[in-house]
Amino acid sequence: MLFMLKVYIDKPADNSNKEFYGVWLKESEAALGAVKAGAIKGIWKAAGQPIIIAVLDVPSADDLDHAMYELPIWKLGFAHIAKNIEITPLRPYENWAEDLKKLAQG
């Protein structure tokens, strides 16, 4: 099942750049490992903004939840820097197009 994940990263005032970017670096290494493993289909950082957008392919919402809590940002106690987490389940547009055929008939 595909999910779009959008996370706003916020640097707390009491974190040094070394600490903050060090955690983000560990997170990026884990994410790139998940890309190689196939769980992440694509991942991007919004230019000029601390926003990460990813498309994940996991069997279920439960698996998404489990995977997220295994990431370094949570395991190292930095979940508070991940603000406004948005998760959107995605469905194939072809399936929607089939639904539209029925809906358009009234």
Q: How would DSSP label each residue in 26-80?
A: HHHHHHHHHHHHTSEEEEEE-TTSSEEEEEEE-SSHHHHHHHHHTSHHHHTT-GG
pLDDT of residue 103: 94
Write down the domain spans for the chain. 2-104
Pick the CATH number of 2-104 from 3.20.20.140, 1.10.1660.10, 3.40.190.170, 3.30.70.1060: 3.30.70.1060
Long-range contacts of 21-24 (CB under 8 A, 24+ apart): 23/72, 23/73, 23/76, 23/78, 23/81, 24/73
pLDDT exceeds 90 at position 28: yes
Give 49-89 pLDDT, tens digit per residue: 999 999 999 999 999 999 888 888 998 899 999 989 999 99
